[in-house]
Structure 1
Amino acid sequence: MAKEEKERYSSSSLMRGLEILRLFRPEQPTLSLVEIANQLGVSRTTPFRLLFTLQHMGYIRQNESTKRYELTPKVLELGFSYLNTLQITEVARPYLERLRNETGGSAHIGILDETSVVYVACETARGITRFAVAVGSRLPAHATAIGKTLLAFQPKEQWQELLLISDLHSYTKDTKTMIASLLKELEAVRAQGYSISSGEFEAGVRSVAAPIFHESGELVAAISVAAPESILPLDYVTSFVLPAILEAADELSAFYGYTPVKRRG
């Protein structure tokens, strides 16, 4: 469908309503009408009508004292409706539990949404709270092992575009932010079939990830283990954690009917 035709069928009101919902984040859990209008770059009358509709539908509520808006738990229905359509969330559960129990790290399944990793299944390591992500969390793809794995197995012709539209923020001194360096790493990840990241998103945290494929060879998701470097020293990662991750990824790929041409690693 041509761009002009897509724009003709697009609903501006629906787009604005979804934009409003996406404005609410951990760093700004409540917003006033003025703040919403300013962040959308529109006059107050535009979001006022949409806020009234969203409030009527139960997705947001307004504090009567402060007049500020906040999301309601009903918003979760939108995300869970999608998660319920993903077989991977239930199929992967025993594999994540096994990885968590055997490696001592937190185990995750993630998918790529534009330039972010969205976590769709998680098993948090017992006793570790330093690096724990919840279902629905979003992290930057360029700064995480699971994100680089997801990027590496996109069509190569899309790599440059994906990195160009990414906010290549430096989270630690080890975060790679140069496109040339990232492209080189994506080549390596694609060739070897896994990614290992150390301290790129959070100092002192190491993660290991591998791709999960569909029968057609297309990427379904990625599976990872993450923990403080003291829990995942490099020699332990290479000798035990990486083989365990690759085995789980291959078994989950087999569920989708995919047979690897050769053993990775």
Structure 2
Amino acid sequence: MRNEDILALTPRSAAAPAQAKPRRTKEQSLAKVDKMRRGKHRKGEDATDIAGDEEEQDRQFVVALSRGLRVLSAFKAKDPTLGNKELAERTGIPAATISRLTHTLTKMGYLHFDARTETYDLGGSALTLGHTALARISLRRVALPLMQELAQRANANVGLGIRDRSMMLYAETCEGSGLIGLRLFPGSRISMATSAMGRAYISALGNDEREELLKELAPQYGSEWPTIRHGIDQAMREVAQQGFCLSLGDWQKEIHGVAVPLVDPVRGTVYALNLGGPAYLLSEAFMRNECGPWLREVRDKINMVFATE
């Protein structure tokens, strides 16, 4: 029987005096309200929609800043402009708060307001910040021409990805000349746990960091996690044995992907290079026997450039 059950059965006069609970700070209370509004995390949601318990307990965590960044993160590459209603739905932030956040972000240049449609798009300050971040990725400068060459060779999508919480974020993409492709762009996010890119990234992490990440991912998939974890373990074995891993319909049923881990030799940042496309164009044999070795070759060429600089 739990202690709280014993107290519940104890006469009020005999119960031990209740100890006062420590009061929440204002920031912790706001984080708690946000979490309650957003509700339970569902499979496939962007991790930026989740306020973890660690945020509630962290006195250094600035909720107002977190809300502003969540508004900016709500914009996706394929989206049209968004209104306050759509932003409130995507972020779980109350509409009244959204209106103040978008007003402030517009004043700061991070959003652009279209008075005719009463909607917002990312502004110049946000774009400048994004371009600055991309410019700092020296790997992008080296990898881009090699990626484009491979995209044409395989007639597929080739991407350079980096971790964005529990997702993978495309820092760069190249498309082949085919009429049908994945149509993923810089800024696109895909699943870390089920994609070849994400699994290649996981394989390059140290043991402690990897286990911590897997603990974060597991609750998002519920009863499906054992199957997904098996796929991750299989991918790690493939990377160890052949330098690349496959995802055949695990991310999306009709999509095949292959990826290699890539570690920035200067900063030590972990990335992943992937190649993917429709399964009917990219057979398992083609991916395993041709595309995987091609990707591995691109990775080796990138490392060679850094070794000679």
Structure 1 length-normalised TM = 0.78
2:157–2:173 CA contact under 8 A, matched in 1: yes
Query: Which residue number corresponds to residue 23 of structure 1?
Result: 74
Q: What is the correspondence of 1:44-193 to structure 2 with a 5 Å cutoff?
A: 44=96, 46-64=97-115, 67=118, 69-74=119-124, 75-166=126-217, 167-168=220-221, 178=227, 180-192=229-241, 193=243
SS at match of 2:193: helix
Q: What is the RMSD computed on CA atoms of the aligned residues?
A: 3.4
- Structure 1 position 238, deviation (Å): 2.9
1:196: how far off? 0.9
Shift of 1:176: 6.9
Q: Aligned to 1:208, what secondary structure does the other structure show?
A: strand
* Superposed displacement of residue 93, structure 1: 1.5
Change (3 A) 1:176 1:249: farther
Larger radius of gyration: 2
Q: Distance in 2 between matches of 1:179 and 1:225?
A: 20
Partners of 1:89 and 1:223 in 2: CA distance:
11
8 Å Cα contact 1:176/1:182 also seen in 2: no
> Number of aligned pairs?
249
Does 1:246 find its partner at 2:299?
A: no
1:62, CA displacement in angstroms? 4.2
Residues 198-237 of structure 1: pairs in structure 2 closer than 5 A = 198-215=248-265, 218=268, 220-237=270-287
Q: Could you tell which deviates more after superposition, 129-138 or 219-228? A: 219-228
Residue 217 of structure 1: CA displacement?
A: 10
Per the alignment, do residues 57 and 185 of structure 1 end up closer, same or farther by CA in structure 2, a change over 3 Å counting?
Answer: same
Cα 1:17–1:103 shift into 2, 3 Å: same
CA distance in 2, matches of 1:217, 1:88: 10
Q: Give the conservation status (yes or no) of the 8 Å contact 1:149–1:189.
A: no
Alignment partners' CA distance in 2, 1:34 and 1:208 = 35
Any gaps of 5 or more consecutive residues in structure 2? Answer: 1-53
Unaligned stretches of 5+ in structure 1? 259-265
Deviation readout 1:50-87 (Å, 9 max, x if unpaired): 322211123224454665x4223423222111001111
Q: Deviations over 1:138-185 (max 9, x none)?
A: 111112111110011112223333233233399xxxx97645424522
How far residue 39 of structure 1 moved from its aligned partner, in angstroms, is 4.3
2:170·2:187 contact (CA, 8 Å) conserved in 1? yes
Change (3 A) 1:162 1:179: farther
The residue that corresponds to 1:263 in the other structure is none
Contact 1:206 1:227 in 2 (8 A): yes
Local SS of the residue matching 1:92: helix
What SS does structure 2 have at the residue aligned with 1:207?
strand
- Return the alpha-carbon distance in structure 2 between the equivalents of residues 38 and 24 of structure 1: 9
Shift in CA distance, 98/63, structure 1 to aligned 2, threshold 3 Å:
closer
Letter in structure 2 aligned against 1:71: D
Identity %: 22
Does residue 1:197 correspond to 2:250, yes or no?
A: no
Asked if the contact 1:146/1:224 (under 8 Å) is kept, the reply is yes
